[in-house]
Amino acid sequence: MPEDSPVQNENTPDTTGEQPRRARRRNRLIVLGAAGLVALGLGGVAVATTGPDRPAPTAVSLDAQSRAEAASRADRSARESGAPASPSASPTASPSAVVASPSPTKTAPAKPKPKPKPKKTTKPTAAWVDPMPGAEVTSCYGERWGTLHAGIDLALPSGTPIRAAAAGTVTQAGDAADGYGNSVFIDHGNGYLTHYAHQSRIAVTVGQAVKAGQVIGYEGATGDATGPHLHFEVHQGMWNQIDPAPFMRARGVDLGC
């Protein structure tokens, strides 16, 4: 303003037109400021002017309307593009974040250990055995028909096996004469011999070593015999017959006499 211009106040009449120009400048500044506030999305701004030639204060609500319009545009653009309006609330785990639990290792069932087979125990053979087990006694040692019956007669069907009463060596095998028929003599090495008479068939030879219970021949009726049977004698020295019953009984064998 020129230096010689008269000083004016609000009550001095404006004759130069300066006040309207100032008012217009203020209004433009106010409009520009409001537009800036809208662009920035700030809260509502109340703009007021004072003076007789200024417009009345106007309340401008910017936040609610601008946010609604922005949300509407965003929602519409999201639907048109096919993208989700908002990110999913549940985060998607990345493949690396998933740790597979190791599968349990299958172990082959332990094979049961085989039970050890029981050892076969062979029952030791008795030193002395029955020469014909299960046979019927038809005659014992003693006097018979006026003469000495020097042995025990044991009867079973013809062909029944005859067994050595104890271990020893065969000293005779064949016809022993004197009515004994086919006979076997076994020397037991302790001064005693056993004699097996009337055999149908002999199964050993002279000089052969035999064990207790070994088959040495088969029952028959050779010699002076009225039927198949075994005539069994015990000799304490050759031809010195003794009663077989007590002798065998003392060695654990009961011949039934």
Asked, for residue 113, whether it belongs to a domain, the answer is no
pLDDT digits (tens, 9 = 90+) for 157-203: 999 999 999 999 999 999 998 999 999 999 999 999 999 999 999 99
| Domain boundary, last residue among 59, 81, 103 | 81
Rounded Cα distance, 30 and 36, in Å? 10
Q: What is the mean pLDDT of the chain?
A: 77
Where is pLDDT greater, at 248 or 40? 248
Amino acid identity of residue 139, one-letter, is S
| Domain boundary, last residue among 81, 96, 121 | 81
Where is pLDDT greater, at 14 or 251? 251
* 141 and 239 belong to one structural domain: yes
Asked, for residue 129, whether it belongs to a domain, the answer is no
Asked, for residue 8, whether it belongs to a domain, the answer is no
> Does residue 123 register a pLDDT over 80?
no
Query: How much is the CA Rg of the chain, to the nearest whole Å?
Result: 71
pLDDT given for residue 136 in this prediction: 96
Asked, for residue 128, whether it belongs to a domain, the answer is no
Asked, for residue 58, whether it belongs to a domain, the answer is yes
Asked, for residue 122, whether it belongs to a domain, the answer is no
Asked, for residue 211, whether it belongs to a domain, the answer is yes
Q: For the domain that residue 241 is a member of, what is the CATH number? A: 2.70.70.10
Number of structural domains the chain divides into: 2
pLDDT given for residue 110 in this prediction: 73
pLDDT digits (tens, 9 = 90+) for 56-94: 555 445 566 666 666 666 555 555 555 554 444 444 445
Report the candidate in 197, 222, 207 with the shortest Cα–Cα distance to residue 132: 197
Contacts of 139 by beta carbon, 8 Å cutoff, 6+ apart: 149, 152, 153
* pLDDT (average), residues 240-254: 97
* 141 and 238 belong to one structural domain: yes
Residue 186, domain extent: 136-249
Sign of CA dihedral 126, 130, 132, 133: negative
* 77 and 140 belong to one structural domain: no
